[in-house]
């Protein structure tokens, strides 16, 4: 039995807390079953966004004719692109591994960890199988994995998750995607730009259902122009024959009479199937009962406002707590846990103004409340939309998109939602105003914005007349 001061399961954002412990002279153990660096570095946001940038470059070239520039693409080394990105990711992961192995303040245990007693973990597989570690403080940061829905025949076909899709060295002829969220949107853009026919099947009425409804509707329309999109459909069966995968999907309704409807439906063949139907927490792999950590009805670790679990001395952060499945949220939680563990007192995690971005084409980003949430809550609010092409820069770019600002009747910013070029960057001004400024439209209205730049979309979106969401009156 090895005893340490601090133990973390997972090597993503949890490493930040482990390093903080080590810097304070504590003995630290890290248990990791996969490549070092966590999901974001190895199977998520880093390789996907690096690959997506290649798609963005190609899309820019293909749009050159809009600007009276005659160019052609003579070739695309797709396999080289994928290999280079994955090699770089592997190199970064290996650097983290080497750093931990060479550290006198960290002990790295490679393999799957499971609890066997209070704050006691055994490595049950991998290079360090059989090792047991007990710690005064344990941090669970073991993340999530792709969720595979219960589709008839799914276990009998060779399907992809995002992990495998990011390693394909040739674009499929016809990629069928089950799921309509972030991953579906981004990988649809990536493979579609490089020549794949793409069909997306999603249960919700719109793609990107977590976005504001007006944004989601507009995005779905754009994607329906690019790809074959079957929203409001649930995949019910899948089969494979001679290299062709066929997906059967039936209409799906939400509400009081929710569920699959047997009438109608679509049949979609393709040579690759990508299941992008969300993610599930890795809590079922950890034997949490052995240490008294409880989970919620979705399987995520149950924590208080400080990210303490139901077990003494055990904390959790990142995707496995299910608050926001975003890397920047996990980094934010890591800072909070470090403060609470090593600071003078406890401070709740502040999720105010937690933004998201979807690196599709068009880009989508948002922060704060969605209009439909405010409407359902009966809260008074006002909105204003502003088109990209009404700014000088947006017009020069032939930019298709808009910003939607949502405020209360006193001018407090309640939310902002953007679809269009550089949305992931433009949303940051609103985040800063909500988080670090007064939180009102004055933060944006009174700031000097460069002209002509896309930031004027934000400036003008928060200036001028707003319309009351409940009655249509001006504000």
Catalytic positions, written as ranges: 451
* Alpha-carbon span 310 to 438, nearest angstrom: 36
Residue whose structure tokens are 């995520």: 300
Give strand pairing partners of 121.
115, 133
Contact predicate 230/224, CB 8 Å: no
Please provide the DSSP assignment of 369-430 as one string: --HHHHHHHT---EEEEEEGGGSHHHHHTT---EEEEEE-TTSBEEEEEEESTTHHHHHHHH
Q: Do the strands 2-9 and 174-178 form a parallel or antiparallel pair, or are they unpaired?
A: unpaired
DSSP state of 302: P
* Alpha-carbon span 20 to 468, nearest angstrom: 48
Mapped onto helix, strand or coil, the DSSP state of residue 185 is helix
Residue whose structure tokens are 């074959």: 228
Cβ neighbors of 76 (< 8 A, separation 6 or more) are 58, 194
Q: Do the strands 382-387 and 197-202 form a parallel or antiparallel pair, or are they unpaired?
A: unpaired
* Alpha-carbon span 56 to 60, nearest angstrom: 6
Q: How far is CA 443 from CA 397, 414, 430, 447, 449, in A?
A: 27, 13, 9, 6, 12
* Alpha-carbon span 391 to 374, nearest angstrom: 29
DSSP state of 196: -
Helices (H), 160-212: 162-165, 182-193
- Give the distance from CA 283 to its chain's centroid: 19
Count CB atoms within 10 A of the CB of residue 119: 19
């Amino acid at each position: 039995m090895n005893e340490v001061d601090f133990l973390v399961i997972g090597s993503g954002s949890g490493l930040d807390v482990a390093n903080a412990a080590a810097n304070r002279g504590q003995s630290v153990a890290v248990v990791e079953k996969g490549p070092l660096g966590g999901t974001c570095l190895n199977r998520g946001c880093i390789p996907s966004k690096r690959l997506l940038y290649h798609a963005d470059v190609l899309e820019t070239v293909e749009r050159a004719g809009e600007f009276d520039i005659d160019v052609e693409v003579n070739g695309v080394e797709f396999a080289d692109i994928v290999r280079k990105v994955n090699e770089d990711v592997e190199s970064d992961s290996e650097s983290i591994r080497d750093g931990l192995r060479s550290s006198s303040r960290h002990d790295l245990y490679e393999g799957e960890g499971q609890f066997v007693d209070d704050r006691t973990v055994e490595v049950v597989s991998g290079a360090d199988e059989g090792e047991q570690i007990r710690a005064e403080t344990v941090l669970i940061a073991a993340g999530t994995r792709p969720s595979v829905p219960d589709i008839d025949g799914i276990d009998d076909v060779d399907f992809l998750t995002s992990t495998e899709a990011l390693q394909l060295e040739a674009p499929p002829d016809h990629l069928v995607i089950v799921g309509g969220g972030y991953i579906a949107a981004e990988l649809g853009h990536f493979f579609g730009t490089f020549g794949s026919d793409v069909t997306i099947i999603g249960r919700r009425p719109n793609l990107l259902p977590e976005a504001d409804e007006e944004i989601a509707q507009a995005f779905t329309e754009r994607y329906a122009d690019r790809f074959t999109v079957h929203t409001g459909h649930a995949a019910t069966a899948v089969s494979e024959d001679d290299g062709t995968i066929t997906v059967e999907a039936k209409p799906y309704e939400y509400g009081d009479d929710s569920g699959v409807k047997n009438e109608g439906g679509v049949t979609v063949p393709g040579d690759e199937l990508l299941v992008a139907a969300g993610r599930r927490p890795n809590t079922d792999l950890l034997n949490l009962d052995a240490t008294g950590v409880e989970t919620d009805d979705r399987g995520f670790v149950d924590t208080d406002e400080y990210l303490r679990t139901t077990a003494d001395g055990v904390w959790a952060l990142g995707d496995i707590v299910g608050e926001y499945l975003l890397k920047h949220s996990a980094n934010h939680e890591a800072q909070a846990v470090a403060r609470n563990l090593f600071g003078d007192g406890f401070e709740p995690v502040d999720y105010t103004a937690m933004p998201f971005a979807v690196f599709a084409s068009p880009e989508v980003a948002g922060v704060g409340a969605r209009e439909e949430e405010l409407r359902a809550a009966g809260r008074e609010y006002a909105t204003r939309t502003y088109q990209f092409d009404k700014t000088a820069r947006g017009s020069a770019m032939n930019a298709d998109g808009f910003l939607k600002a949502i405020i209360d009747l006193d001018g407090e910013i309640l939310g902002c939602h953007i679809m269009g070029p550089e949305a992931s960057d433009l949303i940051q001004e609103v985040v800063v105003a909500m988080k670090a400024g007064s939180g009102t439209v004055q933060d944006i209205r009174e700031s000097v914005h460069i002209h002509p730049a896309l930031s004027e979309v934000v400036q003008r979106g928060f200036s001028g007349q707003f319309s009351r969401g409940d009655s249509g009156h001006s504000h």
